[in-house]
Amino acid sequence: MKLQTLEYITDLYENYAELHLIRFDNRNLSVLSSSVSKLISSLGEQKNLTFWPILISALKRFRFELATTPLPFTSPVLLSDELRASLNEALESSVQFPEYIDHLKLINDLINDLPDEEHPFMKWLKSEYSDGEKEGASAICLPNTKNLYAVEQFIEQNNLLPDVNYEIVNPRQLKKYIFYDRITFCGSVHLFSENQYTDYEYVWRSPRAKKLCFLSFSWIKEEFNPGPAFDVSPNRLPLNIYTETIPEKPDVEKKVENQPQPATAFEDLNFSPLSFLDSGLNKSSRDYHSGIADCECSAVLLDDGSFLYKDIDSYSHIVRFDPETEVDKIPNKDLKQGMPLIVRTEGSDDSISAVADMLFGNRAASVRKMQDDWKICFRRKVFSFEYLADVQKELIRLGSKIANEINIRNWIRNETIKPKDFEEFKAIMKFSGIPEKTEVYWNNAKQIFTMHIRAGKEISNLLRSQITKTDMNDFARYGKIEVNLPSISGKLSVIHIEAVSPEKYTVRAGLADKLQYN
């Protein structure tokens, strides 16, 4: 990495950077990818049933990581136990889905026949970083951070790039005022364009090196619009573009009888992590009226490969590191890619509740029980109605000014401690049949609310005291920091948001905010 001079940057933009589109022929991967596409296409609506959503999600992620991660094809980082288990379950379904068994056997055979050898990207990197290329600073950029550490360790442990001055980075790091002599991107330039789920197009529109190399496969459709970002004259994209296709070795191309043929057309693959989600979930719509215990959620994917469903009418806690480390509470509808989200990665309850209970000390159990008591009474009464509209009318009759479907759903949930206004709380207590306990429950809820504010400040202080400069550098690269909280079991993590789904999903309230893994 270099902090370059103004003269260097001026020269870079006046004399153009080189953009090399390097595509590898690979028969085995082409056949595997097209076979996965054909299976998904042939399933039709059945892809949302039984085991299919989990298997399809695993196959899509495997295909994506094969095309973007320079590890051996059979590495357990890529070829996970979960994928093998899902495939085995599907293969045992010959009675239930006999028409798909041939598809599944072919995919299973293709996966089992993948060679246990270096990835083509890694072979290319080793040959490129020869003695003549060791001079200067280089970066190897992966399109996401999930496998960044594994790639870094694989290269170091096997001494694959000896004496090379290189860093492995993610696209967000290339927003900074840093420059290299060359940057190699593992993945097609399409992955780094504005028509994908990211805003990573700046990596080539505003290049941070004089030579940019994008590694991809010849069977993946490439959509690349190198025109100027703005229709302003004079304006030119500071790039000279070169293309190269690297063929396979002749012995690999040798045809075998009855072996399926590779795709004859380019595959237009959706490599967005959002496409790896369980396709069996219901997408919500304005005309859809979900059950009282359901909520409308966005899917929030995190840099470590996990994801959560976030209720769009609720809130989350994020960390702001500039100018000072602070914890902010923001509406879930405002969550965006790149935000550092606070997540409880081990243990029950959310992070703020866990710290608040620590601050309550011995009183935590009794305070929480009192809160649960009125919530249970309220839910029981709400669930006795067939329609939320009738609940709304009754609450308004009892004095509520803001009762509506969204607020009623929020008041049911544990995450909502209390309404802001005491008169609203009085209406809820009357509705729940416990008006005589209004004052007691209100004062208890106020204590919880105050302690949650203190918990947010406590986490801010802990983050400031524990996060070092090294931690921040690692966070920029790997997208995750784990924080030790004294007296609390489990783990608290700060993880970058990789993507937020534009689609909304109808999810049972109990599944919202639960950390899951694709």
pLDDT tens, residue by residue, 356-402: 888 898 999 999 999 999 999 999 999 899 888 999 999 999 999 99
Q: Give the residue from 27, 18, 498 showing the smallest Cα distance to 259.
A: 27
Q: What is the tens place of the pLDDT at every residue in 185-220?
A: 998 887 877 655 566 777 877 788 888 999 999 888
Cα 95 to chain centroid distance, Å, stands at 36
- Tokens 């929020």 belong to residue: 410
Distance of alpha carbon 336 from alpha carbon 393, whole angstroms:
36
pLDDT in tens, 88-138: 988 887 677 888 888 899 999 999 999 888 899 999 999 888 755 556 788
Distances (CA, A) of 204 to 240, 303, 313: 11, 22, 37
Report d(CA 464, CA 393) in Å as an integer.
48
Tell me how far the alpha carbon of residue 410 is from its chain's centroid. Answer: 26
47-56, 87-96, 248-257, 482-491: lowest mean pLDDT where?
A: 248-257
- Whether the pLDDT of residue 327 is over 90: the answer is no
State the pLDDT at residue 282: 55
> How high is the mean pLDDT of the chain?
81
- Burial of residue 280, with CB atoms counted within 10 A of its CB: 0-12 exposed, 13-18 middle, 19 or more buried: middle
CA pair distance 147, 153, nearest whole angstrom: 10
> What is the predicted pLDDT for the residue at 332?
92
Each residue of 470-481: b (16+ CB within 10 Å) or e?
Answer: eeeeebebbbbb
**3-state SS class at 309:** strand
Query: What is the DSSP annotation of 178-204?
Result: -BEEEEEEES-GGGGSTTSSS-TTHHH
Name the token pair of 429.
């207590």
Which three-class secondary structure state does DSSP give residue 388?
A: helix
Q: What is the pLDDT of residue 286?
A: 37
Is the peptide bond between 234 and the residue preceding it cis, with omega within 30 degrees of 0? yes
- Residue 431: name the closest of 375, 378, 371, 380 by CA: 378
Q: Determine what percent of the chain is predicted with pLDDT higher than 70.
A: 80
Each residue's pLDDT tens digit, 470-482: 577 788 888 888 8
Does the pLDDT value for residue 280 go beyond 70? Answer: no
Q: What is the dihedral of CA 65, 68, 70, 73, to 10 degrees?
A: 40
Q: What is the mean pLDDT of residues 66-94?
A: 89
- For residues 310 and 292, what is the distance between their CA atoms, to the nearest angstrom? 17
Annotation: CATH topology of 6-25+136-252 = Rossmann fold (3.40.50)
User: What does the alpha-carbon distance between residue 271 and residue 199 come to, in Å, rounded to a whole number?
Assistant: 14
Count other C-beta atoms under 10 Å from residue 176's C-beta: 12
Rounded to two decimals, what is the model's pTM? Answer: 0.76
Percent of the chain scored above 90 by pLDDT? 31
- Span 296-308, average pLDDT: 88
N-terminal to C-terminal alpha carbon distance within the chain = 33
Higher pLDDT, residue 176 or 286:
176
Res. 256 pLDDT band, cuts 50 70 90: very low
For the beta carbon of residue 124, count every other beta carbon within 10 angstroms: 18
Q: Alpha helices, DSSP H only, in 240-387? A: 250-253, 351-360, 364-383
Provide the pLDDT for residue 168: 93
For the chain, give every domain's residue range.
6-25+136-252, 27-116+264-276, 282-353+453-517, 361-450
The highest-confidence range among 81-90, 135-144, 148-157, 313-322, by mean pLDDT, is 148-157
pLDDT band at 434 (very low <50, low <70, confident <90, very high): very high
Q: How many CB atoms lie within 10 A of CB 425?
A: 21
Q: Which of 18-22, 163-167, 341-345, 395-399 has the lowest mean pLDDT?
A: 341-345
How many Å apart are CA 484 and CA 487, to the nearest integer? Answer: 9
CB 186 within 8 A of CB 215: yes
Q: Give the pLDDT score at 109.
A: 93
Tell me the C-alpha distance between 412 and 293, whole Å.
9
Angle between helices 27-43 and 101-112 (to 10 degrees): 160
Neighbours of 355 (CB within 10 A): 25
Looking at residue 446, its pLDDT comes to 95
Burial class (CB within 10 angstroms; exposed 0-12, middle 13-18, buried 19+) of 275: middle
Residues 6+ apart with CB under 8 A from 61: 273, 276, 518
What does the pLDDT read at residue 253? 47
